[in-house]
Amino acid sequence: MNARTAPPLPPSRPSRTAASLWAIVVGGVVIAATVGLRIDWSELGDVPGDVLRYSTLMFADPNWERLPRALFEMWRSISMAWIGAILCVIVSIPLGMLAAGNVGPSWVRLPLRVVFAIIRAVPEVIIALLLLTVTGLTPFTGALALGIAGIGTQGKWVYETIESAQEGASEAVRAAGGSTAEVARWALWPAVAPALMSFALYRFEINIRTSAVLGLVGAGGVGSMLANYTNFREWDTVGMLLIVVVVVTMIMDAISGAIRRRITGGPRITEKRSRHVVGIR
């Protein structure tokens, strides 16, 4: 058999050296983190019993006498979340549009993206603690912290949504002599508005859950009430507060989710209505 008729050699096996090295590095980081925490693994077996004991204290007989106060504080938390979402949307939409690659110039786009990344790196609790020295222990502190913290994520959603929009309408406006502002107003905004409104409502859902956490640092709302009664070990009241937080949050999530589906999917046409429309046509 000569060289021309020799069968081709099988492909060489891919090297797994890089994957093995990465696995060793990740495993070393996990081990180092676990050792650095100094966890007493002997207490791990007591966790189920402690969870059952405190769950019984909180939910066996909740204290419903403070329910009106809890609902009022929950309403304050929802108000904080709503004001924070509005502030976030008002600021993030124009800045996010300028940060999009097909709208803003590079000398504007790149600094804005850096600012968004920095804001995303700072948790809401840290922002609230910084604002406490200026605005004090008020619900406005929580609303402002939620608004500032949401700008980073919301701004990224805005420019990524605009960059993924189809270019047909933008090219048509540019061909007609439109400026960058006119392209953003008449081509990009109608295409991305439903998605941006959906993101704004999703931001509101996130703020509702986060507002309870901000209350733990003194920003007001149901979180402050929860922290106070936890410190006093009044577990029956804590259980009632947790029930209120979970139920109200689930209700608001369901309402917001239904609105978001309506915005993104449009109105639903029932079978009876569709038959009526077909009959008219």
Domains and their CATH numbers in the chain: 64-270 (1.10.3720.10)
What pLDDT does 159 receive?
Answer: 87
pLDDT at 16 over 70: yes
Nearest to 245 by CA among 218, 220, 211: 211
Per the prediction, the chain carries an average pLDDT of: 80
Tell me how far apart the alpha carbons of residues 39 and 74 are, in angstroms, rounded to a whole number.
36
Structure tokens at 104: 């803003």
DSSP the chain: --STTPPPPPPPPPP-HHHHHHHHHHHHHHHHHHHHHT--GGGGGGHHHHHHHHHHHHHSS--GGGHHHHHHHHHHHHHHHHHHHHHHHHHHHHHHHHTSTTTS-HHHHHHHHHHHHHHHHS-HHHHHHHHHHHH-SSHHHHHHHHHHHHHHHHHHHHHHHHHTS-SHHHHHHHHTT--HHHHIIIIIHHHHHHHHHHHHHHHHHHHHHHHHHHGGGT--SHHHHHHHHHHTT-HHHHHHHHHHHHHHHHHHHHHHHHHHHHHHH-----HHHHHHHHHH-
User: The tokens 């222990």 sit on which residue?
Assistant: 137
pLDDT at 5 over 70: no
What pLDDT does 164 receive?
Answer: 80
pLDDT at 271 over 70: no
pTM value? 0.73
**φ and ψ at 165, to 5 degrees?**
-70, 150
Q: pLDDT tens digits, residue range 132-161?
A: 887 777 778 888 888 998 898 899 988 888
CB 223 within 8 A of CB 146: no
Q: pLDDT tens digits, residue range 207-240?
A: 888 888 887 777 778 888 888 888 888 888 889 9
Tell me how far apart the alpha carbons of residues 30 and 215 are, in angstroms, rounded to a whole number.
32
Tell me how far apart the alpha carbons of residues 143 and 115 are, in angstroms, rounded to a whole number.
20
Considering only the C-alpha atoms of the chain, give the largest distance between any 2 of them, rounded to a whole number of Å: 95
